[in-house]
A and B are shown apart, each in its own frame.
Chain A
């Protein structure tokens, strides 16, 4: 009966970003794009022939052990968008769902992403086997190339002396899904709070960004989640610097359960600076570099 729009029916998510989705940086915060990707993931599970609600009742949820996101353009309150995605292989050969969040109706690609889809044992929060992605049939083909991963130090992530605590808090009820497990949005919320804590340490406070007309944004982010915490768990984030470029800096958050000391997730991300008036990239100042160098992660430490 419907769908005069050729794109209708192909989307895995469709919605609008609102004023209350805006973050301190003046654009739609990453946690809300993560939420849209999470919705797309659940829709893909349904398209694969699995009812996620019935699966949840039987004790199985669906999430992502690994997720890569490239942020291409800022989104603002009032922007409408949709996600299309399809199964593919990541640059390392891993089966992933690759897609893009496009602004409606001009189809500007705002975000590109890759996500694994993994079963979650809702009783323990542990990841189980991945969803066989080839079983889904109805998603639109992605029009995006494979994402380039953020370079990472070899070996398992560890808490090193240079990393400083950037967040401490509890998984609240609003951070959890219907099974009391922490949502992807809430994990990205932790990442955001950690980002601002470090921004303040490096002198890039919100006031300074505003006064000097400097824009700052996450341009790439990758998450490796080890398990999914539950509502009530106390978590911490420690943050260090992985490396610096001319106009950007690579950071790592290590999110841990405070009580057990178990790693929850590793979030690597790139922050880039730009001139708000011209839109051109802004170089890291010597002061910023000096502070960031003190946070450099030394994996041999």
Chain B
């Protein structure tokens, strides 16, 4: 077990902010989705592999805890890891840190199930992917630290 890794490093854009003057919630989710795809690449489910193996992971549940607001120009980092990664279920954890002051801005947890992209039905994740993902297994305590 080695834990979470950086999957996004970016800047909040003005057009992501709403009339409250902070990043709208839809863009937190967008950042996490990008981080998730980045993590998929790291464990071997990169774009070409998805085309060839026809395996995807569909989210079935998501929980987000907003801790601090992000404003236009703020730099941020998303770290991603897995609380669970089995053949039939993936529980992903994210933490989003505001880099200007290194404060934790968001933690999130999502549950996903593997799907066969040709049949659009549940499937099992192959062993090599499970093995690769084991490098990124983390704990709940790590996520909130």
Chain A residues within 8 Å of B, Cβ to Cβ: 1-5, 8-9, 11-16, 18, 38-39, 42-43, 46, 51-54, 56, 76-80, 82, 104-106, 173-174, 176-178, 183
Instruction: Please judge, given known A-B contacts A3-B5, A39-B9, A42-B11, whether A15 and B73 are in contact too, CB under 8 Å.
Output: no
Closest to B4 in A: A2
| Cβ-defined contact, A8 with B5, below 8 A | yes
| Contact-residue size bin, chain B (C-beta under 8 Å from the other chain) | 35 or more
**Complex alpha-carbon distance, A106 and B44, angstroms:** 10
| Cβ-defined contact, B3 with A1, below 8 A | yes
Nearest-Cβ distance from residue B70 to partner chain A, whole angstroms: 10
Closest to B36 in A: A16
Nearest-Cβ distance from residue A20 to partner chain B, whole angstroms: 10
Check if B29 is an interface residue, CB within 8 A of chain A.
Answer: no
26 pairs from A and B in contact (CB 8 Å cutoff): A1-B4, A1-B142, A2-B4, A2-B5, A2-B79, A2-B81, A2-B142, A5-B6, A13-B9, A14-B9, A14-B10, A16-B33, A16-B35, A16-B38, A39-B9, A42-B75, A43-B9, A46-B75, A46-B99, A78-B46, A80-B7, A104-B42, A105-B46, A106-B46, A178-B14, A178-B17
Nearest-Cβ distance from residue B97 to partner chain A, whole angstroms: 10
Chain B residues, CB < 8 A from A80: 7, 37-38, 40-42, 46
**Complex alpha-carbon distance, A176 and B41, angstroms:** 32
**Complex alpha-carbon distance, A16 and B142, angstroms:** 24
Chain A residues, CB < 8 A from B140: none
**Complex alpha-carbon distance, A54 and B100, angstroms:** 9
| Cβ-defined contact, B3 with A2, below 8 A | yes
Chain A residues, CB < 8 A from B35: 16
Chain B residues within 8 Å of A, Cβ to Cβ: 2-11, 13-15, 17, 33-35, 37-38, 40-42, 46-47, 50, 71-75, 77, 79, 81, 99-100, 135-136, 142, 145
**Complex alpha-carbon distance, A253 and B136, angstroms:** 47
Interface centre among A16, A105, A174, A177 (most CB of B within 10 A): A16
| Cβ-defined contact, B37 with A51, below 8 A | no
State the main secondary structure of chain B at its contact with A.
Answer: mixed
Of A8, A104, A177, the residue contacting B73 (CB under 8 A) is A177
Chain A residues, CB < 8 A from B136: 4
| Cβ-defined contact, B14 with A18, below 8 A | no
Besides A2-B142, A16-B35, 19 other CB < 8 A contacts?
A: A1-B3, A1-B4, A2-B79, A3-B5, A5-B42, A8-B5, A14-B9, A15-B10, A39-B9, A39-B10, A43-B9, A54-B100, A79-B41, A80-B41, A104-B42, A173-B15, A176-B14, A177-B14, A177-B72
**Complex alpha-carbon distance, A46 and B101, angstroms:** 10
Closest to B135 in A: A4
**Complex alpha-carbon distance, A12 and B99, angstroms:** 12
| Cβ-defined contact, B15 with A11, below 8 A | no
**Complex alpha-carbon distance, A51 and B40, angstroms:** 32
Instruction: Please judge, given known A-B contacts A16-B34, A16-B38, A105-B42, whether A3 and B6 are in contact too, CB under 8 Å.
Output: yes
Closest to A54 in B: B100
Chain A residues, CB < 8 A from B2: 4
Chain A residues, CB < 8 A from B9: 11-15, 39, 43, 82
